[in-house]
Each structure stands twice: as structure tokens, then as C-alpha cells.
Amino acid sequence: MSATLIDGNAVAEQINRRVADRVKALVAAGRRVHLAAVQVGENPASKIYTNMQARSCEAVGIQYDLLTLPADTTQDALLAEVARLNDDAAVTGIILQMPLPQQIDARKVQVAIAPDKDVEGMHPVNMGRLFFGGGHVAPCTPLAAVELLTQTCSDLAGKEAVIVGHSEIVGKPIAAMLLASPNASPTVTVCHVATADLAFHTRRADILIVATGVSQARWLAYNRRRKAGENPPLPNLSPLVAGDMVKPGAIVIDVAINRIPRGFDAAGEPLKNDKGKTDMVTVGDVDFGAASARAAAITPVPGGVGPVTVAMLLRNTVACAEALSA
């Protein structure tokens, strides 16, 4: 069996076209869609993401502004900026860029964002709406994973769905979304990296959604210890889900994006590329090659959930603008 590739870029393009039409309708009615991004300090990874946000917003007609605050900004000062954006009628959506400096409690700041302007769907009010129904936004990555799943398989009723990863921002929201229909939902099992005999669960999954990022977490922990002068054992960066852990004919949605070294030398140092920098690769939580030989359909990493997550951010942004103008 050779799995069908689930093309996240193609799905993202479909969503973006619909978002652009909704933005045009709002503008024609004299309303605007304005996303304000808040960043504290300069971070290379965050800069890449904010540039992508700006380009994506421009492509669909959303006004995008990035507010960059000094790295030593206090929590009270950041909360004051969020309050100002909450009160600004011209701003219809707010996103808080990660990571934040150590002096900032990210959770407290996220909770301070007005629920109706929370384009990431992370406010407790919006999470409550997700679990009880009736919300206009939800966390972007779970939305993306479920969108790719439902475009691949329209009939989920009676199927076994296994989610590996139980975080508040991905695993738990995905479970809630899959269970939203009283009559057409799959049977959902939620596992995690500490689940005993994980393979027992994954091998019976008609739908397998994996979202742990464990390989990157292990690499980062190893690197921190090396920089601190320790000599830790080499980390296990093998995929969490091997090919033989996938049920033949399953649909596999690999949510994780792990940036890890391609390998290590005899001294435990990560291998370098021809420019003398660490030779990094981007992989998911699933052994893509081996799983592709067993699955019916699978998302690649990159090019699967990632681009659809960005599209869902745009969709949430226009949904917030529509709700505020209703």
C-alpha cells in the first residue's frame, strides 16, 4: 500500500480564497478586518512567523500591524498594551507572539485578551465555547488537523480515532472537535508520551493524530545540558510512532514539527552542514516513510498541518471581525 499524500498547501489555498471573499464582503459593508500582533523583544524564529503572518494577511486583504515592545517590558506594561488593543474599536483581532521573556507569564497575558478578539481561540471563554458549542473561533492547529481529516474522510462515525498528545492547545481541543457530533463522531482515545504500550492503541486506530513534539523536546533538553557543561547520553530522536505502529489503511495526521539535528558525531556533537552550522531537519512524530507504506492517507511534515494552521488563523481573524460587527 502506498498512502495518499494529504496536501496541506492545497487545502490552505482553498480556505484562504474563502477568507478573502469574507474580507471583501466586510469591506464592502464599511467594516475592516485588522489583526494586531504583539511581540516582546526580538526573536529570529518569531520574526520568521510574523513575516509569514504579514504576507498571509496581505494576500487576503487583512490589515496587519506588529507591535514590538522592548525585551525588558514588564508584565504590567504588556497587560496595559493588551488592554489598549482590547479597547481600540479599529482592532478586530489580537495575537500574542511566542516565545515571551522570562519575566512575562504568558498565560495571564493570553487570558487578558478580549475573548471576541482572541484569534488563536486560546482564551478560557473560547475554550469553553468549544467544549459546549456555539463559539466562532477555536485553536488554529486543532482546526487545521480536523479540517485535513474531514476533507480526507467525510464519514467518521463508528471509526476508532486515537490522539497521541493531550496538551491544552492541541490534543484536548482535537478530541472535543471530533466528539462534537452526537451521531457522527468517532470513538476517541487520547494517549500521550507516557502511555503504557502506546503501540497497542495506535495499531487499532482508523484515524491516528499525533501531536507531541517529543523529539524536539529531547533535543532541546540535551542541548541545554551540553551547554551547561554536562555530558548527557545521546537523546533518542527516533520517531515516536514507528511504521509498524500504524494500522493498515489508517488515516494519519502528523501535527508535530520537530527541528532536530540530522545526527551526532562520536563526541556527541550535532553534525554540521557545509556552512559549519548544525545540520537540522524538520520531521514529525511519525516515521513518514514506513507509515506511508501502511496508511491509506498521511500528512507530510512540512507541508501538511502547518500551512492549514496559518489559514485557520486568518479564518479566525475574519470570524472575530464578523462577530464584532454583527
Question: How far is 102 from 207, CA to CA, in rounded Å?
Answer: 38
Q: Note whether residue 160 is domain-resident.
A: yes
Backbone angles phi, psi at 191, to 5 degrees: -115, 180
Question: How far is 277 from 272, CA to CA, in rounded Å?
Answer: 5
Closest CA to 217 of 163, 159, 267, 258: 258
Backbone angles phi, psi at 254, to 5 degrees: -95, 110
**pLDDT given at position 133:** 81
Number of domains in the chain: 2
Query: Which residue is listed with cell 487576503?
Result: 60
Residues 197 and 278 reside in one and the same domain: yes
Q: Could you tell me the residue range of the domain that residue 203 belongs to?
A: 140-295
Q: Note whether residue 23 is domain-resident.
A: no
Q: Note whether residue 78 is domain-resident.
A: yes
Q: Note whether residue 305 is domain-resident.
A: no
Pairing of strands 187-191, 93-96: unpaired
Residues 118 and 233 reside in one and the same domain: no
Question: How far is 95 from 122, CA to CA, in rounded Å?
Answer: 10
Residues 145 and 283 reside in one and the same domain: yes
Residues 156 and 290 reside in one and the same domain: yes
Q: Note whether residue 43 is domain-resident.
A: yes
Backbone angles phi, psi at 143, to 5 degrees: -60, -45
Residues 252 and 319 reside in one and the same domain: no
Angle at 17 between CA 11 and CA 18, to 5 degrees: 95
Mean pLDDT of 81-88: 98
Alpha-carbon torsion, ordered 106, 109, 114, 120, to 10 deg: -20
Residues 207 and 239 reside in one and the same domain: yes
Q: What percent of the chain has pLDDT over 70?
A: 99
AA letter at 124? P
pTM of whole model > 0.85? yes
What does the buried/exposed string (b/e) look like for 220-250 if buried means 16 or more CB atoms within 10 Å of the residue's CB?
eebeeeeeeeeeeeebebebbbebebbbeeb
- Is residue 99 very low, low, confident or very high in pLDDT (cuts 50, 70, 90)? confident
- Is residue 184 very low, low, confident or very high in pLDDT (cuts 50, 70, 90)? confident
- Is residue 260 very low, low, confident or very high in pLDDT (cuts 50, 70, 90)? very high
pLDDT tops 90 at residue 65: yes
Residues 146 and 289 reside in one and the same domain: yes
Query: Which residue is listed with cell 474531514?
Result: 150
What is the average pLDDT value for the chain, to the nearest integer?
Answer: 95
Residues 191 and 164 reside in one and the same domain: yes
Q: Note whether residue 2 is domain-resident.
A: no
- Is residue 1 very low, low, confident or very high in pLDDT (cuts 50, 70, 90)? low
| Residue 240 belongs to domain with CATH number | 3.40.50.720
Q: Note whether residue 66 is domain-resident.
A: yes
Mean pLDDT of 29-41: 96
pLDDT tops 80 at residue 203: yes
Residues 73 and 199 reside in one and the same domain: no
Q: Note whether residue 128 is domain-resident.
A: no
Residues 180 and 46 reside in one and the same domain: no
